[in-house]
Structure 1
Amino acid sequence: MNRIARYLTHPQVVIDQTIPIPEWGLSRVGRDRTEHLACACPWPNTTHIVTSTERKALETAASLAAAWACPVDVRPNMHENDRSATGFLPPTAFEAAADCFFARPNESFHGWETAKDAQARILREVIEFLWHHSGRDVLFVGHGGVGTLLYCALAKRPIDRRYDQANGGGYWFSFDIDSRQVLHHWRSMEAAAVMRNDTRSTQTQRRHS
């Protein structure tokens, strides 16, 4: 059986301009979505969860790990692209900045980490972990920006924001651990839970047929 790695972005957060962005935690909506995914347990072969050190990712990973009895590996270099040079940006300004970040991957937007550098960093962290991983499936919990850059690298696509997840976070894609082949583009947390419930329903029907 193929071993599968999945990259999941944290869902909605509490936006608080008074604290650094890496310290933002999940909102009530974000926690509810995570708990729903945890209860559905759509990926029963997961033996490890790997997360960045940012609070929102840690909270997502902790909830899933507690429900699935998985160990959590924390890797500081899985953080989101470094945007500390500008700090918090209002939504409209942030979207414009993100457009520039993806459109000019070799250039820094007002001191941000470049998309090329962020892509090399997240790809290195993921591959390094998998190189030493001997278990079954792995779930990486992280962030939308570097997650999209990882997808582009693994799918052999140019860096482009058209490969980004939808708004709000809480999306995942998967790839084969051994071949590094991407299996599908972003899907929502809710889609994963539905897929698991459909599988359970089919198995129940087969047992009683």
Structure 2
Amino acid sequence: MTSIVRYLTHPQVQIDPAVPVPQWGLSEVGCARTETAAKASWLANTRQIVSSGERKAIETAEIVASRLGLMIEIREAMHENDRSATGFLVAAEFEQVADQFFAEPHLSIRGWERAIDAQARIVREAEAVLARNRPGDILFVGHGAVGTLLFCHYAGHPIDRVHDQPAGGGSCFAFARDGRRVLHGWRRMEDV
């Protein structure tokens, strides 16, 4: 039986405009959702947990790892698309820029990392882990934009925000390690 690879996005975060976005942690809601999901049967065969180096992803991974008795591996290059050129944006403005990011993947929107570059980076990171060919399921823990770019790659879709995770984060998609066939698209972590 082939191993299943899952990509889980961190759920809700504690937004603080005074703190750099990569340093935001999970909110109480995000922690509670992750605690609930960590008890789910879909994680039972997980043998590797690989996380982005951003605090919110690490906190999500740590909750799951603690429940499963596993260590986490942190891969710094699994970070969210680089948006440091703009820093924090209020919700409406962020959504407009994110729409442009996905709609124009070959352009740097307001100084953000280009979607094609972010996609190449996240695919490279995932494939480096998969190449080790260790037994058991793998859980990647990361972010919505790069997760969507990874999903588009494995599903064979062009980059498009129509394939983005549901609002609120804390969503998961899965694919078979052998053949990289997508098993299901985004599902809320409580519904996997």
Q: When the two structures are superposed, what TM-score results if normalisation uses the length of structure 2?
A: 0.98
Rg (Cα) greater in structure: 1
**Counterpart in 2 of 1:165?**
165
Spell out the pairing of 1:193-204 with structure 2 (5 A cutoff). none
The alpha carbon displacement at 1:39 in A equals 2.2
SS of 2:106's partner is coil
Q: Does 1:95 align with 2:95?
A: yes
Instruction: Name the counterpart of 2:33.
Output: 33
Any unmatched runs of 5+ in structure 1? Answer: 193-209
Alignment correspondent of 1:83: 83
1:43 Cα offset (Å): 1.9
C-alpha displacement of 1:41: 4.0
2:186 aligned partner, one-letter code: W
Q: Distance in 2 between matches of 1:54 and 1:147?
A: 14
The question of 1:127 aligning with 2:127 is answered: yes
- The letter for the 1-side match of 2:17 is Q
Q: In structure 1, the residue corresponding to 2:39 is in which secondary structure? A: helix
Separation in 2, partners of 1:25, 1:42: 25
1:61-113 per-residue CA deviation (whole Å, 9 max, x = no partner) reads: 00000000122110000000000000000000000000000000000011100
Q: Percent identity?
A: 56
Q: How does 1:144-163 map to 2 (within 5 A)?
A: 144-163=144-163
Match of 2:58 in 1: 58
Corresponding residue SS for 1:42: helix
Asked whether the 8 Å contact 1:2–1:176 carries over to 2, the reply is yes
Q: Which moved more, 1:35-44 or 1:62-71?
A: 35-44
> For residues 40 and 155 of structure 1, what CA distance do their matches in structure 2 show?
25
Tell me the C-alpha RMSD between the 2 structures. Answer: 0.7
Q: How far apart, CA to CA, are the structure 2 residues paired with 1:159 and 1:39? A: 33
Secondary structure of the 2:126 match is: helix
Quote the residue 1:114 is aligned against.
114
Structure 2 gaps of 5+ residues are: none
- Shift in Å, 1:134: 1.4
Moved over 6 A (4+): none
Kindly state the Cα deviation for residue 40 of structure 1 after the two structures are TM-superposed.
2.6
Q: Distance in 2 between matches of 1:43 and 1:179?
A: 21
TM-score, normalisation: structure 1: 0.90
CA distance in 1, matches of 2:18, 2:130: 37
Q: Which residue of 2 aligns with 1:206?
A: none
2:5 partner letter: A
What is the CA-CA distance between 1:157 and the residue it aligns to? Answer: 0.3
SS in 1 for 2:141: strand
AA aligned to 1:112 is W
